Homo-oligomer: A and B are copies of this chain.
Amino acid sequence: MTLNNQLIKEMKQRVYEANLQLPDLELVKLTWGNVSEVNRELGVIVIKPSGVDYKEMTADQMVVTDLDGKLLEKESLKPSSDLPTHVVLYREMPEISAVVHTHSTNSVMWAQAGRDLPAYGTTHADTFYGNVPCTRQLTDKEVEEAYEENTGNVIVETFKERNLSPNEVPAVLVYGHGPFTWGATPKKAVENSLILDEVCTMARETEMVNAHISTIPQYLLDKHYFRKHGAGAYYGQN
């Protein structure tokens, strides 16, 4: 197989820059996060190498795999151990092109609490069309047999069971673990991680100030989400 070098070089650069954003935006400590991008026509995924310091890695070190997660370059570092989760998401969610996983403080807190993130306000509704779901807990068997792959599977199961669109809700909380977000580009997927963490903070504090608060009504959710997304959007310069 001959790789399209220029396109892959550009993917590596985007994935590299998006990974660097994670510590810059204070979404990760140490090496606790990874970003990937897929190009389904090329049959290629590019992802951060496992356990490598953000400050020390180079764009060239980003790991290139096929759509099953098999290494495509001879002198490759090992990919992020979460790669099998990314592979499942890319296979089952054809509308997404980039995936981010972090252990950002406030998103992890909700994932550990095992609760869906309620849509308490317009900040949430601007990006997430409804509650951000929390998956069920993985079973003993799922963890032992193929942990990272089954993490992807339980995310997909959650979206299917609840009839959610990955485009409309570009984030999930994995029970007891943490957030995954996605988007059309690595930059956009990172932005969704940032927003998720912020609305996780806001939701927690909202409940502290008013333990009996409800989610916003559907018409306000509709207004804010569709003000920014879809054919009728009028936010921004386009």
Contact = CB atoms under 8 A, between A and B. Distances in A.
A198 B207 CA distance: 18
A22 to B, nearest CB: 15
Nearest to A191: B30
A177 interface: yes
Interface residues of A, number: 59
A51 B223 CA distance: 17
B140 A219 contact: yes
B32 A123 contact: yes
A217 interface: yes
Nearest to A144: B219
B220 A176 contact: yes
A116 to B, nearest CB: 11
How many copies altogether? 4
Contacts of A114: 210, 213
A176 B112 contact: no
A206 B138 contact: no
Given A77-B237, A178-B121, A178-B123, A113 B206 contact: yes
B213 A112 contact: yes
A47 interface: no
Given A209-B204, A217-B137, A235-B50, A112 B105 contact: no
A216 interface: yes
25 contacts: A29-B198, A32-B123, A50-B236, A78-B237, A103-B123, A105-B198, A108-B123, A109-B202, A109-B205, A110-B209, A111-B121, A112-B120, A112-B206, A113-B209, A114-B210, A115-B209, A120-B176, A121-B178, A122-B178, A123-B178, A137-B217, A137-B220, A138-B220, A147-B223, A207-B209
Interface of A: 29-30, 32, 49-52, 77-78, 81, 103, 105-106, 108-115, 120-123, 137-138, 140, 143-144, 147, 176-178, 191, 194-195, 198, 201-210, 213, 216-217, 219-220, 223, 227, 234-237
